Amino acid sequence: MLCLESSPQFVNMRFINNIADNGGAVYIEGPTSNVSFTDCQFIGNIASNGSSLYLYMGSVSFEQCLFSRGGLNSGQGTVAYAYYGTSIDFVSCTIAGNLEPDSPLMFLFNSPTRISNSIIAENSCSAPVESMIMGVTELNYTTIYGNSGGNWVGPLEEFDGVNGNVEEDPAFLNSDDGDFHLAENSPCIDTGNPNLPNDPDDTVADKGAFYYDQSFNGVEEQPLLPADLTLSPAWPNPFNARTTVELTLARSHYVEVELVDVLGRQVKTLLTGVQPAGVHRVEVNASGLAAGVYLLRAQIEGQRSQVQKLVLLK
Ligand SMILES: [Ca+2]
């Protein structure tokens, strides 16, 4: 895919087993390009430089993305190769199981790059990052572990042990089979960036692309009373122009329903005030919103909020 002076947003896509000269999955060029990927997976792509990403000027962001089994024909940057990039962001990404022992995962030439809440583990690589002039400018709440060329080496050395960064086994469910979800005992659970919104199970953010759902662990099972607040699944979801959620109240309550983005910023207030018992339809209108992932959060005063993930496609 070539993004030339363009700014598309990609949500919930898989880029698998592609082969290209530069940029196995995506090639981004031009200073005005600003491309985002949310909930995307880059698996088994091959290129001369940058099996997932080749960036020449322009900016790109990845949220909740997986990069795995990338390889190179020659060149550098098993995951990413960036040359005069404007900015690169990795938030809640998992980079694992890549396959080139002689190349860094990221080769950055004068490309300021921020990495947060991510896992870089169990890769064959010469180093996680190699940079010239400008490379990694921020790195926080990230686990780097078990990479063949070293972990906190080169431009990452200054971030070792600070800003919530650690070197510990992330305990993937089954990395041999390419399953990089977290096992129940993973130290990446609830140790992510506390400034990010909570996971959908309403616990502190986990590191990496896949959070561990703790809502069904049965440890603190509640007695089976009718819930004061229940939410029906949004329909349609993903949505384009609008989507609707039905909220049912067992009794009259003060209720707040809001839409927030993945950074926890409030986007819209959908319903607020005392509402009578019964079913209430809450509509989310997409006008004025950019494509991407949003969270609908409903809360009765003093009780746990209920959260639903909404995907807006345009
Ligand atoms: Ca969590």
CA–CA gap between residue 73 and residue 50 (Å, rounded): 10
Cα 129 to ligand 1 centroid, rounded to whole Å: 27
Contact 52, 20 (CB under 8 A): no
Report pLDDT digits (tens) over 141-174.
999 999 999 999 999 999 999 999 999 999 999 9
Report pLDDT digits (tens) over 61-113.
999 999 999 999 999 999 999 999 999 999 999 999 999 999 999 999 999 99
Cα 205 to ligand 1 centroid, rounded to whole Å: 4
* Residue 84 Ramachandran class (φ > 0 left, ψ -120 to 50 alpha, else beta): left
136 versus 261: which is more confidently predicted? 136
What percentage of the chain carries pLDDT values higher than 70?
96
Q: Let me know if 272 is exposed, middle or buried by CB neighbors in 10 A (0-12, 13-18, 19+).
A: exposed
246 versus 264: which is more confidently predicted? 246
* Residue 290 Ramachandran class (φ > 0 left, ψ -120 to 50 alpha, else beta): beta
For the whole model, what pTM was predicted?
0.71
Cα 201 to ligand 1 centroid, rounded to whole Å: 7
Q: SS in 3 state form for the chain?
A: CEEECCCCEEECCEEECCECCECCCEEEECCCCEEEEECCEEECCEECECCCEEEECCEEEEECCEEECCEECCCCCCCEEEECCCEEEEECCEEECCECCCCCCEEEECCCEEEECCEEECCECCCCEEEECCCEEEEECCEEECCCCCCCCHHHHHHCCCCCCECCCCCEEEHHHCEEEECCCCCCCCCCCCCCCCCCCCCCCCCCCCCCCCCCCCCCCCCCCCCCEEECCCECCCECCEEEEEEEECCCEEEEEEEEECCCCEEEEEEEEEECCEEEEEEEECCCCCCEEEEEEEEECCCCCEEEEEEECC
Confidence of residue 216 (pLDDT cuts 50, 70, 90): low
Neighbours of ion ligand 1 (CB under 5 A): 190, 199, 203, 206
CA–CA gap between residue 175 and residue 277 (Å, rounded): 48
pLDDT of 222 above 50:
no
What is the pLDDT, as a whole number, of residue 101? 95
Cα 100 to ligand 1 centroid, rounded to whole Å: 32
Cα 197 to ligand 1 centroid, rounded to whole Å: 10
Cα 210 to ligand 1 centroid, rounded to whole Å: 10
- Region 120-143 average pLDDT: 96
Query: CATH assignment of 229-312, given 2.60.40.10, 2.60.40.1930, 3.40.190.10, 3.40.630.30?
Result: 2.60.40.1930
Domain range summary for the chain, segments of one domain joined by +: 2-182, 229-312
Cα 31 to ligand 1 centroid, rounded to whole Å: 36
Contact 118, 96 (CB under 8 A): no
Confidence of residue 263 (pLDDT cuts 50, 70, 90): confident
